[in-house]
Amino acid sequence: MKQKSGLGTLAWWLMVIGALNWGLIGVGLYAGSNWNVINLIAGSWPQVEWIIYILVGLSAIYTLFSCKKNCN
């Protein structure tokens, strides 16, 4: 098994956090409430919330391409 770089580990964790947040958003909408953890934590600062979402998206792209390159 290959050792992940620091950037790869950070990207993986951000991707996991984003996936869990999306799962909670879905369950929260089903339950009729707001379970968006990122919004609840950083909602007072919309710019911080946007940056978190951008970092999660970039992490997914990084992980996708690095796995495509290294997983074959």
Supply the pLDDT for residue 69: 67
* CA-closest candidate to residue 16, choices 54, 63, 49: 63
Q: What would the mean pLDDT of 7-13 be, rounded to a whole number? A: 92
Per residue in 11-63, pLDDT (tens digit) is 999 999 999 999 999 999 999 999 999 999 998 999 999 999 999 999 999 98
**Model confidence at 70, in pLDDT bands (50, 70, 90)?**
low
Check residue 9 and give its pLDDT.
92
pLDDT score recorded for residue 18: 94
How does 17-56 read in b/e, with b if 16+ C-beta sit within 10 Å? Answer: bbeebeebbeeeeeeeeebbebbeebeeeeeebeebeebb
